[in-house]
Chains A and B, each alone.
Chain A
Amino acid sequence: MDDLLFNLQLVALGISNGAFYALLSLGLAVIFGMLNVINFAHGAQFMMGAFAAWLLLNYLGIGYWPALVIAPLIVGAIGVAMERLMISRLYKLDHLYGLLLTFGCALVIEGVFRNNFGASGQRYSAPREFGALDIEYGDFFMPGYRVWVLIAGTLICLATWLVIEKTKVGSYLRAATERPELVQAFGINVPLMMTLTYGAGVALAALAGVLAAPVYSVHPGMGANFIITVFAVVVIGGMGSIMGSIVTGFMLGFVQGITDIVYSEASQTVVFVIMAIVLLARPAGLFGRA
Chain B
Amino acid sequence: MAEGSIAAAGVPPIAAEKASFFGFTRAQALAFLLMFAVIVVSPFVLYPVFLMKVLCFALFACAFNLLIGYVGLLSFGHAAYFGMGGYITGYAAKAWGVPPEIAILMGAAAGAAIGLPFGWLAIRRAGIYFAMITLALAQMVYFFCLQAPFTGGEDGIQNIPRGTLFGLFDLSADMTMYWVVAFVFLAGFLLIHRIVHSPFGQVLKAIQGNEPRATSLGYRTDDYKLMAFVLSAGLAGLAGGTKALVFNIATLTDVHWAMSGEVVLMSLVGGLGTVFGPVVGATVIVAMQNYLAEFGAWVLVIQGAIFVACVLAFRRGVVGEIAHALKVKL
Contacts and interface: CB of A to CB of B under 8 A. Distances in A.
Contacts of B121: 276, 279-280
Contact of A100 (B4, B137, B268): B268
Interface residues of B, number: 46
Point out which of B76, B129, B257, B310 has the most chain A C-beta atoms below 10 A from its C-beta. B129
B36 to A, nearest CB: 31
A89 B311 CA distance: 10
Given A99-B131, A235-B132, A279-B133, A104 B300 contact: no
Contact of B297 (A89, A111, A234, A280): A111
Interface in A256-290: 265, 268-269, 271-273, 275-276, 279-280, 283
B139 interface: yes
Given A104-B311, A114-B300, A96 B4 contact: no
B257 A279 contact: no
Contacts of B136: 228-229, 231-232, 235, 271-272, 275
Contacts of B66: none
A115 interface: yes
Contacts of B297: 111, 114-115
A104 B18 CA distance: 38
Given A94-B5, A115-B301, A107 B131 contact: no
Nearest to B302: A111
Interface string B139-152: 11001100100000
B154 to A, nearest CB: 14
A97 interface: yes
B311 A90 contact: yes
Contacts of A95: 127-128
Interface string B1-40: 0111110000000000000000000000000000000000
Given A229-B139, A235-B129, A100 B307 contact: yes
B102 interface: no
B301 A107 contact: yes
A240 B223 CA distance: 28
A224 B257 contact: yes
Nearest to A284: B125
Interface string B303-325: 11111101110010000000000
A255 interface: no
B88 interface: no
Interface string A76-91: 0000000000100110
A268 B268 contact: no
Interface in A215-243: 224, 228-229, 231-232, 234-235
Nearest to A112: B301
14 contacts: A38-B131, A90-B312, A94-B4, A99-B128, A104-B308, A108-B308, A114-B296, A114-B297, A115-B298, A228-B135, A228-B257, A235-B125, A269-B144, A283-B124
Given A101-B307, A106-B304, A114-B296, 6 more contacts: A93-B315, A95-B127, A107-B307, A108-B304, A108-B308, A110-B300
